[in-house]
Structure 1
Amino acid sequence: MFALTFPEYGPSSVLAVTEVPEPHAGPGQIRIKVRTAAVNPIDWKVRAGYLHELFPVAFPGIPGYDSAGVVDEVGEGVTGVAIGDEVIGYGPTAQAEYTVVGNFTAKPASMSWELAAALPTAAETAVRSLELLGLAEGQTVVIDGAAGSVGSAAAQFAVAKGLKVIGTASEANHDYLRSIGVQPTVYGEGLPERVAALAPEGVHGAIDTAGAGSLPELAAITGDPKQVVTIADFSGSVPEAQVTLHASAYHALAEATALFEAGRFDLRIDSVHELADGAKAQDASQFGHPAGKIILNVAAN
């Protein structure tokens, strides 16, 4: 099969579309003929070798965790899905003609292929972050970086669960946050005071998706560092804060698609690239300021 690969750790220039052996579905897995795949920050971090201890690569490496396509093989013990079904998958080596996953859900017929590929990492990480906080209906959560993919996913899940959500973003994104049920505020100096004005009853949890050094402020806002979750700041500036990195909550995809079908979940798409332009797409994730998910069109190859 063809796949986007990298033969060694390095800059985006090591990426190229090459031929590699096909994977096959094992017990509890399906194989997907991929239509679209998403690019996430973890892709370039793994490719560059920044995460080699957590995510060691057997070269040639194939990036990606988010895929959408058509079921091509069904492994032993898998039920409720058949060859030819359209699905969304979450698992490694997604940016290839075929990928094998054990975590998947049916793609709603009305959902675009681009949105389908955009869901997995954002939904999985968002749901896991909220579960770590353990908040109850009526409580308040602050999401730092709420206009990003994980932040906006977490906000929509939180709103659906009956939480009050305060989200930070640039003023240009405030109307977007209001449209998904979030009270917006700007990030940066003075955040605890701004949040206190919006939530005089107090804040019960916070999620940092931005990695901009806000953990001390978020700990002050919640009054309990253990009620802060970060997916982006591993500096240890607040040792008690909970850290989640590419976490899995295996019901998240089904929750996201159910909310989508109810008209209560969506993610913004920044751009769509061909698989051969994978290096350009990773550079856009690493060095640009994407206003939504970056998608690779795999089926066109």
Structure 2
Amino acid sequence: MRFRSTRPEAALQPAPALPETMRAVVFDAPGSTEVLHVADVAVPTPVLSEVLVRVIAAGINPIDAKTRAGRGMSAAIDSWPAVPGFDVSGVVVRTPFDAHPFPVGTEVYGMAAFPRTPGTSAEYAVVPTLSLARKPASLSHVEAAAVPLAALTAWGLVVETALAHQGQRILIHAGSGGVGHFAVQFAAYFGAHVIATGSTRNLEWLRELGAAEVVDYTATRFEDVVHDVDVVIDLIGDVSDDTGTRSLEVLRPGGLLIEVPTGAWPAFREAAAARGIRSTDYKTIPDGGALATIARLLDSGAVRVYVEHVFDLADAADAHVELERGHTRGKIVLCVSDD
């Protein structure tokens, strides 16, 4: 006997007819923002546990710009043109089986497996089941698309690596950025004493997010006013202003440095060990279970997402220009559909 799901969504939402092609942002080779353009490409085909999502909005992240420029994930791209993008919010239109936990018609958000599959800057995207969760009911699709990669990164840094807890002192660099504004909120939620660096315009906002102390990096060197920190979450690196090296000065012996930007400071492990400080890098884990927990925090109002800029899909190059300016508060999102 064929099993049929008792979920109301499965009963009410037959699989829709799908087009063979879709609009997508593509680039034919690494380069500047000018390599990005919109083209008609084939709608991707889900396999195994993947679902097909009709994309309503797609978040963009620094890793997207780095990959487009020939760094980041670029070396893993094995066919061209490539469709970039990890973050997605949209509606499930194909599932691998009838009783799937995200039936056709379900509003979801999550992360695609780019560049193993085409990315989310397109009208449709394939997404692994384990990288999805139901979209927070209180958020629009544009807001939800800003969450996955940044919030999952922050969750992994704060909750799973730093083990944030009452009384712990955590310094978060670039606290007003995409990852940073979630990291500040998660650390405060779990009781840590949060110190965040940011620009002048973001100081009051960082306090609203839960930072107990804020440091204006344009006016003050953080190592002059911050001491005896248990954990530093470095979202900047050591390239331009020695943020990582200076962070070692404020960590207590046995403290933890989490160095996030890939390749920004190759020698951080040795430098930390020489001072008796623990250290690690970090890579985002696209965990749908964690996304479901984050959704509950968002719906409860304990955590919020901030979207500073929204661009149409056709204006993806302009979105990358804005991203690379490096001073975005929160996130930038591409609007793919008017739904």
Give TM-score scaled by structure 2 length. 0.81
CA distance in 2, matches of 1:123, 1:95: 19
* Matched letter for residue 68 of structure 1: S
Q: Which residue of the other structure, out of 271, 281, 294, is the alignment partner of 1:256? A: 294
Which ranges in structure 1 are unaligned for 5 or more consecutive residues? 197-201
Is the Cα contact below 8 Å between 1:225 and 1:238 reproduced in 2?
A: no
CA apart distance, 1:86: 0.6
Match of 1:104? 132
Closer, same or farther in 2 for the Cα pair 1:57/1:224, shift >3 Å? farther
Q: How does 1:57-68 map to 2 (within 5 A)?
A: 57-68=78-89
Is the Cα contact below 8 Å between 2:111 and 2:286 reproduced in 1?
A: no
* Matched letter for residue 99 of structure 1: A
* Matched letter for residue 282 of structure 1: H
State the Cα deviation string for residues 52-91 of structure 1 (Å, max 9, x = none): 5654352111111001000111124973221001110211
Q: Which residue of the other structure, out of 183, 192, 196, is the alignment partner of 1:154? A: 183
CA apart distance, 1:120: 0.7
Is the Cα contact below 8 Å between 2:23 and 2:123 reproduced in 1?
A: yes
SS at match of 2:146: helix
CA distance in 1, matches of 2:298, 2:89: 16
CA apart distance, 1:138: 2.5
Match of 2:337? 299
CA apart distance, 1:190: 3.5
Q: Which residue of the other structure, out of 106, 110, 116, is the alignment partner of 1:89? A: 110
CA apart distance, 1:28: 2.0
SS at match of 2:153: helix
Q: Which residue of the other structure, out of 177, 187, 190, is the alignment partner of 2:217? A: 187
CA distance in 2, matches of 1:150, 1:190: 22
Q: Which residue of the other structure, out of 46, 55, 67, is the alignment partner of 1:46? A: 67
- The answer as to 2:242 corresponding to 1:213 is yes
Give TM-score scaled by structure 1 length. 0.90
CA distance in 1, matches of 2:82, 2:51: 20
CA distance in 2, matches of 1:113, 1:5: 22
Is the Cα contact below 8 Å between 2:308 and 2:328 reproduced in 1?
A: yes
- The answer as to 2:198 corresponding to 1:169 is yes
State the Cα deviation string for residues 104-146 of structure 1 (Å, max 9, x = none): 1111222111110000111111112122223433311110111
CA distance in 2, matches of 1:284, 1:120: 20
Closer, same or farther in 2 for the Cα pair 1:169/1:287, shift >3 Å? closer
Closer, same or farther in 2 for the Cα pair 1:178/1:295, shift >3 Å? same
Q: Which residue of the other structure, out of 125, 131, 136, is the alignment partner of 2:153? A: 125
Greater CA radius of gyration, 1 or 2?
Answer: 2
CA distance in 1, matches of 2:136, 2:74: 37
Over aligned residues, Cα RMSD in angstroms? Answer: 2.2
State the Cα deviation string for residues 147-170 of structure 1 (Å, max 9, x = none): 111011011111222212111111
Is the Cα contact below 8 Å between 1:123 and 1:252 reproduced in 2?
A: no
Paired residue total: 296
CA distance in 1, matches of 2:152, 2:320: 21
Single out whichever of 137-146 and 127-136 deviates more from structure 2.
Answer: 127-136
CA distance in 2, matches of 1:77, 1:168: 49
Closer, same or farther in 2 for the Cα pair 1:78/1:270, shift >3 Å? farther
SS at match of 1:195: coil
Is the Cα contact below 8 Å between 1:155 and 1:165 reproduced in 2?
A: yes
SS at match of 1:256: helix
State the Cα deviation string for residues 209-260 of structure 1 (Å, max 9, x = none): 1235311222222235871112226222422442224444543312221111
Closer, same or farther in 2 for the Cα pair 1:173/1:221, shift >3 Å? same
Is the Cα contact below 8 Å between 2:107 and 2:134 reproduced in 1?
A: yes
SS at match of 2:250: helix
CA distance in 2, matches of 1:53, 1:19: 22
CA distance in 2, matches of 1:97, 1:51: 24
* Matched letter for residue 290 of structure 1: T
